[in-house]
Amino acid sequence: MTLLLTLAFLFLIGSVTGWILELLYRRFLSDTNPERKWINPGFLAGPYLPLYGFSLCALYLTANINVEFIPNLILRKIGLFLIMAAIVTLIEYIAGLIFIKGMKIKLWDYTNDWANIQGIICPKYTCYWILLSAIYYFVIHQSMRISVNWLTEHLAFSFVMGFFYGVFAMDLCYSLDIVSKIHRFAEDNHIVIQYEALKEAIRKKNEEAREERRFLFFMTSDSISFAEQLKNYAIKEQKRLKGAVMRNIQETAKKFRRN
């Protein structure tokens, strides 16, 4: 089987599995979701996260890297996991940078984490990738090899993959159209959109609108225009930034008084 078909198969598995893991993490463990609601973790409408698809492809390829030049077996494995985690972190950084620089959208934000780089990557999540690399190597990699071998004997599954990529392509076009609207708004207002904060603001605004319509018994559409949602988000973001600036000024003034 060609390498391209293998990577396409791994991308499918990684994207869907990663979406499920992120969905469960945000539902039950994430501090950013205190209400414990089900939240789509991706910027696409469907159940897949391309970042995890690319990451699984990277883990599959790098798991076979020859590190025999390291004499100690334990150090050899640690070195391999560090290489695997570094490559996945690089993928994460490139993806984040493309959206921030090219689209003015920040899909995730590690700004509050120690030693972060541009809020895109940080040591904490690189450590998570090291742990996941070890889990992948010892628990999952052999299963992935078996799955790839299974695909070579059941090439009819390629039709399922073709259907997946057809739906994925339509979803990508739809989502990129939304992203382009956000990008234009961000460019006009000279801001970078926090994508998760925008989604949360839209969700809350729609819930408030539905509650208001129930109270008034007024039957209208359940959704507010996307342009209005962006304006509401920008206003709230400006207020938040002004509040943060005022707090910093007040704290600085207190320090001067003490001195």
Q: What is the pLDDT of residues 13-32, one digit of tens each?
A: 999 999 999 999 888 887 77
* Helix (H) or strand (E) segment spanning residue 180: helix 157-189
Task: Give the per-residue pLDDT at 68.
Answer: 85
The average pLDDT across 107-124 equals 93
Task: Give the per-residue pLDDT at 254.
Answer: 66
Task: Give the per-residue pLDDT at 126.
Answer: 96
Task: Give the per-residue pLDDT at 222.
Answer: 47
**245 CB-contact burial (10 Å; exposed 0-12 / middle 13-18 / buried 19+):** exposed
The average pLDDT across 223-240 equals 72
When pLDDT is cut at 50, 70 and 90, the band that residue 219 belongs to is very low
Q: Rounded mean pLDDT of the chain? A: 85
3-state SS, residue 236: helix
Task: Give the per-residue pLDDT at 242.
Answer: 67
pLDDT tops 60 at residue 183: yes
When pLDDT is cut at 50, 70 and 90, the band that residue 252 belongs to is low
Tell me which residue of 221, 135, 112, 150 sits closest to 6, measured CA to CA. 150
pLDDT tops 90 at residue 95: yes
CA–CA gap between residue 175 and residue 50 (Å, rounded): 13
The average pLDDT across 28-43 equals 81
CA–CA gap between residue 85 and residue 81 (Å, rounded): 6
When pLDDT is cut at 50, 70 and 90, the band that residue 207 belongs to is confident
List CB contacts of 183: < 8 A, sequence separation 6 or more.
102, 103, 104, 105
* Comparison of pLDDT for 194 and 11, the residue scoring more: 11
